[in-house]
Structure 1
Amino acid sequence: MVTGPAVDRCPSARAALAISCAATLLVLVNFTAPVSTVQIIGAELAAGASEQTWMLSSISVGLAAFLLVTGSLADAFGRKRIFVLGGALLGVVSAMCAMAPTALVFVLARVLQGGAGAALLATGLGLLGHVFPPGPERARATGLWGAMVGGGITIGPVFSALLIKVAGWPLAYWIIAALSSLVAVWAAMTLAESRGERPRKLDLAGVVTFSGALSFLVAALTEGRGGWTRPHVLAFLAAALVLLVAFARAERKAAEPMLDLGLLKRRAFLAATVGALVTGAAVIGFMTYVPIAAQQVLGLSPLASAVLLGAWSGVSFVAAPQARRLIGRIEARDQIAAGLALCGIGQLALIGIGVQSVWWQLVPGLVLAGAGSGIANAALAGLAVQSVPPNQVAMGSGANNTARYLGSSVGIALIAAVLAMAPSGGGPAEDFATGMAWAAIVSAVLSILGSVVVASLRQRRTRTAERAAAESA
């Protein structure tokens, strides 16, 4: 019998872990790259407030719309194949971002970046679920994968802020293009192919209805900051609802659905999905605006604001791999619930930051939220692949990441709407500080409610198990 960690005894497992972590780090660096520089990019591309919101949320649209699609395709046609295609596509569309002449072109390229990143995230986590068996080995691997989420969020804003000082904002996207191409080549030369037990047909109806519904929903939320009763906003909301209903009907009828709706009957799968959705909406959505607030309210530079955000994302990066020590002591569902609760407490600690505040007053709240994020990220990654059958691990990871990035897109639009509706009367800095206080309250409430919901999704005990427990008592 072979013992020891899989990463020490199996070269293919080591390669899969290294490539998956590198790709995840790169996708999250790209995801957060505009967070500290969106105002500079927006000024150069003549983007207004609404267009700048789209610049922040557009990549989430692509991620949310295509994570399930690429997860399903990976299970059907090969995880390595879809991973390599995703890396190559990310290289091409990152170059499009660098050359974008207008805000519209930049936003469209960011949507395509999201689609390419979706292929890397869904297949990367699916590869780990395939090569690492359930238990401590998989927990360690998914913990490292979760750490890359925090690591990418830490590096991205600093990376782009530094490069603006050197050569302007396009350089960040040229570098991302080059690194994405290298990851694609590395994967093509190193990874072994894996797929589900048998080939599956593409669920075209599911792809069209799901991606369309998410796109209309995010469009409505983003445009809603200018007025929720405007005709086109109401039309977007109606279209999203119709397409979601159509998606549910299509998946029930499909012989091989993109998303097996039966998985929603599994409480572990539902807990992972709800946890990811709340993480995106309540945590990532709010934290995306922290560097902007640091610049507008505290007067920090883009680089200093990016470093400040690292108090959240850096702690998340450190906490995620350490969460494996909780295995066997605390269930993954309870780790997610605890992580979300800690995020909520950290967000509440950020209330009251104003123009008279100094940067270090944000640090305690950011550190608490970062610790919560790290614990939740590690547990979410593990539960996403543990809660589905072995031949559907890419679907499970795709569904989990879809929920996360749908949540982040919704969260960015929600915070933008809260900022727009917050009471005003002072100067721009004072008004933004008031808006961020309200945003912190809304985000904290969502985090804590999410924690309660996830904690309540305990596995039902069967009558046989209940009878056995009663007899042993």
Structure 2
Amino acid sequence: MAGAVLSRDAGSRSPVAAPHLSLAIVSAATALALIVFTVPLTTLGPTAEALALGPGAEAWLLSAMPLGAATGLLGSAALGDDHGRTLVFLWGLGVMAAASVIGALAPSGLVIIAARVGQGLGGAAVMACGLGLVGRLYPEGRARATATGVWAAGLGAGVATGPILAALATDLGGWPAAYWGTAILSLALLLAGRGLLPPAEARRPQPADRLGTILLMAGLAMLMSALTEMRFGLASPTVVGLLGGGAAALAAFVFVELRHPRPILDLSLFRGAAFCAATWAAFASGAGILALMTMVPTLLMRAMGASALSAAIIMTAWSATSIVTALGARWVPEALTPRRLMIGALLACALAQMLLFGVSAERAALLLPGLFLAGAANGILNAALGRQAVATVPPDRSAMGSGANNTARYLGSAIGITLGAILMAHGSETGGIAGLLDGWNAIVLITTGFSVLGALVVGIARNGTRPIATQERP
């Protein structure tokens, strides 16, 4: 295996032996970040009942972690590039552990939503710097394709095991048990990472882009709030104010990034078709297949009467399949470039999503063909995105490339999940199970549209195979 070869971590004087140990830690932490992401999928009911959460708060509970991740990924990537990926990666695990403890002790909906945002911020550091570490430890070519396939399998493993572990923990110790479990796992990986990960790169600290980070977080938070409040009407003053404020904050973010000496997002990267294609494909993945799969447990439990554990087990038709195909991506012929894989996988995701349209409350088994196809396509897509995220940026910006890619994915998922939660909750309130199923069909069509649009954009980027990493940074 490529991990048996000695590698040198840039900026460090000591060689890094057995990179496969670092890959194991990074992949396990990536899986944990996705476990944290999935905790509410099978604990939403007990949590909402215990903390008296309404439909709006439930939507926030589902989307708070991806929102925190989306707002923290670019800042974490910049910190990793400037202060050392290992250091920021370990800090991310610490933040995730602390936020999990706060979530377990939360006395109200506001506190647990804040804790979920904190978990997202910690997960952001893990995701951005973890994939950046993989990109530095493994050279371009087959070795990197294998390593990013293992990393992508970590994504699938987290999604596969998260709902099951959360359901089992809830049965044993109530809804806080899942949060205690993620806190313990975060601390265990933090201790293992301190001993096994390569030393932090010796770098000269650069001016921190604090204002850019704040503006990005504020802009995305206001836009997400506007989506949540839209259930009360598109023209309400609150929605209009939040949309305007969010747009203004994001415009200010672009203004700051264009002038900051060390921005959290180098906007010149968008001059490259490969970077644009990978970023949009990640957004389409989040707003498309990931958002829809997130809503499947709600469909199973509230419309089909499945238990939390049964819903989690049915979900493995998607998540476990994605692990297999992500690992198998290493054997994909070289002629199938990451661009072609992204197009094919997004179109396959769209087909899988349409197979889930029009399901009935009595036939849960009819979901399985769509779930299996979605898992197969999603595994290939994750592997291709992981490879492109670090291949389309200069070597010293690999964490930024990973951060931008995962920001797009989590932003897309936050938007898709919020829309799905609102549509299904509104349908349930107005029409019971029939209304919930109508809401489900609406979100199937919306998320399928994101997948198809993603494939079209990647297809248009015809020079998307040219690696930006070989170019000088402006």
TM tier, shorter chain?
over 0.9
Q: What are the within-5 Å matches in structure 2 for residues 94-113 of structure 1?
A: 94-113=100-119
**Cα distance change on mapping 1:72 and 1:460 into 2, 3 Å:** closer
Match of 1:156 in 2: 162
Please report how far the alpha carbon of residue 345 of structure 1 lies from its aligned counterpart in structure 2 after TM superposition: 0.3
How far residue 461 of structure 1 moved from its aligned partner, in angstroms, is 10
Query: Is 1:26 aligned to 2:32, yes or no?
Result: yes
Given that 2:83 and 2:203 are in contact with CA atoms closer than 8 Å, whether structure 1 keeps it comes out as no
Q: Which residue of 1 aligns with 2:338?
A: 332
Q: How far off its partner does 1:194 sit? A: 4.3
Counting only pairs closer than 5 Å after superposition, residues 146-185 of structure 1 correspond to structure 2 as 146-185=152-191
Q: Distance in 1 between matches of 2:134 and 2:206?
A: 21
TM-score normalised to structure 2 length: 0.93
SS across alignment from 1:202: coil
* Offset at residue 460 of structure 1 (A): 7.3
Q: Judging changes above 3 Å, is the alpha-carbon distance between structure 1 residues 12 and 207 closer, same or farther for their aligned structure 2 residues?
A: farther
What amino acid is the match of 2:338?
A: A
Residues 222-279 of structure 1: CA deviation (Å, up to 9, x unaligned):
2222222221221111111001111111111112211110100111111110011011
Q: How many residues align?
A: 456
Which has the larger displacement, 190-199 or 92-101?
A: 190-199
Q: Superposition RMSD on alpha carbons, in Å?
A: 1.7
**In the alignment, structure 1 residue 434 sits paired with structure 2 residue 434:** no
The alpha carbon displacement at 1:425 in A equals 7.0
Residue 258 (structure 1) aligned to one of 225, 248, 264 = 264
Instruction: Trace 1:263-302 onto structure 2 (pairs within 5 A).
Output: 263-302=269-308
Aligned counterpart, 1:119: 125
The equivalent of 2:369 in structure 1 is 364
One-letter identity of the residue aligned with 1:429: I
- 308-317 or 103-112: bigger deviation: 308-317
**Aligned mates of 1:422, 1:270 — CA distance in 2:** 36
Confirm or deny that 1:43 pairs with 2:49. Answer: yes
- For residue 9 of structure 1, what is the amino acid of its counterpart? V
Given that 1:12 and 1:192 are in contact with CA atoms closer than 8 Å, whether structure 2 keeps it comes out as: no
SS of the residue aligned with 2:206? coil
Kept in 1, the 8 Å contact 2:339–2:464? The answer is no
Cα distance, 1:34 vs. partner? Answer: 1.0
For structure 1, which segment, 199-208 or 291-300, has the greater mean C-alpha deviation from structure 2 after superposition?
199-208
| 1:50-449 mapped onto 2 (5 Å cutoff) | 50-195=56-201, 199-355=205-361, 357-419=362-424, 426=431, 428-449=432-453
Quote the Cα distance in structure 1 between the aligned partners of 2:299 and 2:273. Answer: 38
Alpha-carbon separation, structure 2, partners of 1:223 and 1:80: 39
Indicate the larger mover: 69-78 or 198-207. Answer: 198-207
> Which range moved further: 378-387 or 290-299?
290-299
Aligned in 2, Cα 1:296/1:460: closer, same or farther, shift over 3 Å? closer
Q: Which runs of 5+ in 2 are unaligned?
A: 7-16, 467-474
What residue identity is the alignment partner of 1:230? S
CA contact (8 A) 1:12 1:191 kept: no
Mapped contact 1:197–1:391 kept (Cα < 8 A): no
2:446 matched to 1:450?
Answer: no
Contact kept, 8 Å, 1:79 with 1:193, in 2: the verdict is no
Higher mean C-alpha displacement, 21-30 vs 433-442: 433-442
Rounded Cα–Cα distance in structure 2 between residues aligned with 1:208 and 1:371? 37
Deviation at 1:29, TM superposition (A): 0.6
Tell me the CA shift for residue 200 of structure 1: 2.3
Letter in 1 for 2:433: A
Output the CA distance in 1 between the equivalents of 2:454 and 2:445.
14
Gaps of 5+ in 1: 463-473
Closer, same or farther in 2 for the Cα pair 1:155/1:54, shift >3 Å?
same
Residue 196 and residue 284 in structure 1: after superposition, are their counterparts in 2 closer, same or farther (change >3 A)?
farther
Shift in Å at residue 424 of structure 1?
Answer: 8.7
- Please give the TM-score of this superposition, normalised by the length of structure 1: 0.93
Distance 1:106 1:425 in 2: 28
Report the alpha carbon displacement of residue 342 of structure 1 after superposing the two structures with TM: 0.7
Consecutive aligned runs of 4 or more in structure 1 exceeding 6 Å deviation: none
Matched residue type, 1:271:
A
